[in-house]
Structure 1
Amino acid sequence: MAPAAGAAGMTILVTGAGGFLGAALVEALAARGFAVRAAARSPLPALPAGRVSPATLPDLAGSGLDDRFSALLEGVEAVVHAAGLAHRPAGLDETVMQAVNAHASASLARAARRRGVGRFVLISSSRAVSGPSSPHPLTETATPAPSDAYGRSKLAAERTVREELPEAIILRPPVLHGAGAKGNMARLARLARSPLPLPFGGLAGRRSILSDANVAEAVAFVLARPDAAGRTFHLADGDPLTVGQMIGAMRQAVGRPPGIVGLPAALTERLVTRLAPALADQLCRDLILDDAAIRALGWRPVESSAAGLGRMMRG
């Protein structure tokens, strides 16, 4: 794969390199010709040969982060900050979410500014601007209305990074999929692997989703675009999908029929609300990201939703 424009000689720090998304970013950026410093809390099991060097990421809830980040940034010309808590574990105080996702992000941005690092990409989330559903497609100018501790911590990260580095680029992905995906997409994959027909045909809620490969493509794209500096972008694979369409795509990727049974929408929604009230919004209602802003600059996904969902099933 050809290097992105402007990539020659650029060293990029990727934080969270041991996670699902961070590992995908490291591999994709190295393939594009960047030299990658892959920072993780634990030793990385495998690294792409040649252009990737491991580094130790400090405890993001710890103290003295400015100095630790400054040392980590020596010789770095760009930062992709993907580390953090992806959800609020049971029993975890919200102050810890704020420390890890917001305060540590601000510290890294401050260290980057002092080091003269010219490019900084923060991986945020659609949950920084919305709860699990929205009646309207979300643009970057939507008034932020996070509904949980995770979303509030991601919004705080955006604001504090922007204060430290006004030229930072913020990317807001929706739920992520691809080989090794976790959370709700992993749960859907387990359902898709079951042999039984599933009564999801009446779930009309449409969701934007994004593959890890498309996140990496977006990161490489904005790093090479001076006109992306200081902007926030929403990302999506393409057309939003219902839960039934997602599971159908997963099953078709492994040579099985979709096996989605249609029930009346009202009945399906009542069943979901009773059996899984915490997931009712995510399963029954829309959350669509409008990604027209980054597409206007020329970005296009490199992978369809069906292809990424298929990788998740086979991975």
Structure 2
Amino acid sequence: MKITITGATGFVGQNLTKYLKNSHCLTPVSLRNQNWTDNFNIDIDVIIHLAGKAHDTANTSNDSVYFKVNRDLTIQLFDVFLKSNIKDFFYFSSVKAVADTVDGVLFEDIDAKPLTPYGKSKFEAEEYLLKQTLPEGKRLFIIRPCMIHGPGNKGNLNLLYKVVEKGIPWPLAAFHNERSFLSIDNLSYLIETMIAKKDLSSGVYNFADDDALSTNDVVQLISMTLGQKPRLWSISSSFIKTVVKIGDILPLPLNSERLKKLTESYVVSNSKIKKALGIEKLPTSAKEGLIKTIRSFQ
């Protein structure tokens, strides 16, 4: 199978390339050059569109950049796909395209209410793709992953690791939550399985590990991996929320956006994709995947 991957130099792109390269012929492509369409190879079977502008937790990015990259480039690439003989188009959107916060469990049929420029740009791209008529023999897969992690990935998990590693008590234990994560191994497995399953229907699919975990669970996993005793402090949540407002003004490690990511509940269902692929369990459990990521920080 001949596959083109955009955003191949990013975290997901690098890992997906390693996973697929032994079974498929892969070609990375950059969309940064304004004339990329002139040299785009359409003699392929699958496009996996990963390239995009990630959510900026520091809120320093211009809103227009999200729409130019996440929406407009996706539209251009999809139009190339529609006019070609390429069979499959995978668009990596995000759960944030439809819900900034989740009450209960997030399923694919939720009424979209994106709140950030990142989420809105992803959703507007989805809207365009879904409104187009697919020629016979073509498939469109819109993937909505939750928080992706794996060896080499930085971000909030790495921040959490550094706190625990230094022996600093986790001060947010009073926040009780449940979060879905997505191991890069499970992501890669799902993509390869979807490509191979020729009778899989086009559609929107959530990607998440099988089980949700709390932030306190993650702190305990980090402590266990480091051979330390977990240190969880239950400081008043209202006090913490007041203090982090300072981080919204000054360059501190914790601000309101990061606090939200670390403590909110965000449970994502993966039942639709598992049913469609006829699998009961993903190969890597949520805890196994997190431990593998945590060990990579050492």
Taking structure 1 as the reference length, what is the TM-score of the superposition?
Answer: 0.81
Q: Deviations over 1:201-230 (max 9, x none)?
A: 322121111111111111112112234332
Distance 1:76 1:254, change over 3 A: farther
Distance 1:258 1:191, change over 3 A: same
Distance 1:165 1:24, change over 3 A: farther
What's the offset of the Cα at 1:114? 1.4
Q: What letter is aligned with 2:194?
A: V
Per the alignment, residue 50 of structure 1 pairs with: none
Distance 1:273 1:72, change over 3 A: farther
Q: What letter is aligned with 1:58?
A: L
Aligned partners of 2:177 and 2:215 also within 8 Å: yes
Cα RMSD (Å) of the superposition? 2.1
What's the offset of the Cα at 1:235? 1.6
Per the alignment, residue 273 of structure 2 pairs with: 294
What's the offset of the Cα at 1:310? 2.1
Q: Does 1:279 align with 2:277?
A: no
SS of match in other structure, 1:168: strand
Aligned partners of 1:175 and 1:185 also within 8 Å: no
Q: Does 1:310 align with 2:291?
A: yes
Per the alignment, residue 117 of structure 1 pairs with: 86
Q: What letter is aligned with 2:27?
A: R
CA–CA distance in structure 1, aligned partners of residues 217 and 199 of structure 2: 36
Aligned partners of 2:94 and 2:143 also within 8 Å: yes
Distance 1:229 1:99, change over 3 A: farther
What's the offset of the Cα at 1:169? 0.3
Aligned partners of 2:53 and 2:65 also within 8 Å: no
Q: How many residues in Structure 1 have an aligned counterpart in Structure 2?
A: 279
What's the offset of the Cα at 1:163? 3.5
Per the alignment, residue 119 of structure 2 pairs with: 151
Which of 193, 206, 212 is 1:240 aligned to?
A: 212
Per the alignment, residue 184 of structure 1 pairs with: 156
Per the alignment, residue 21 of structure 1 pairs with: 12
Per the alignment, residue 58 of structure 1 pairs with: 31
Distance 1:312 1:269, change over 3 A: farther
Distance 1:193 1:272, change over 3 A: farther
Distance 1:157 1:188, change over 3 A: farther
Aligned partners of 2:66 and 2:117 also within 8 Å: yes
SS of match in other structure, 1:232: strand
Q: Deviations over 1:12-43 (max 9, x none)?
A: 11111111111011011124x1111123xxxx
Q: Does 1:35 align with 2:25?
A: yes
Unaligned regions of 5+ residues in structure 1, if any? 1-9, 40-56
Aligned partners of 1:128 and 1:144 also within 8 Å: yes
What's the offset of the Cα at 1:160? 2.2
Q: Deviations over 1:86-122 (max 9, x none)?
A: 1147443222211101111111111122121001111
Aligned partners of 1:273 and 1:280 also within 8 Å: no
Per the alignment, residue 210 of structure 1 pairs with: 182
Q: What letter is aligned with 2:191?
A: V
Per the alignment, residue 99 of structure 1 pairs with: 68
Percent identity among equivalent residues? Answer: 24
Aligned partners of 2:180 and 2:267 also within 8 Å: yes
What's the offset of the Cα at 1:81? 0.8
CA–CA distance in structure 2, aligned partners of residues 288 and 182 of structure 1: 21
Q: Does 1:80 align with 2:53?
A: no
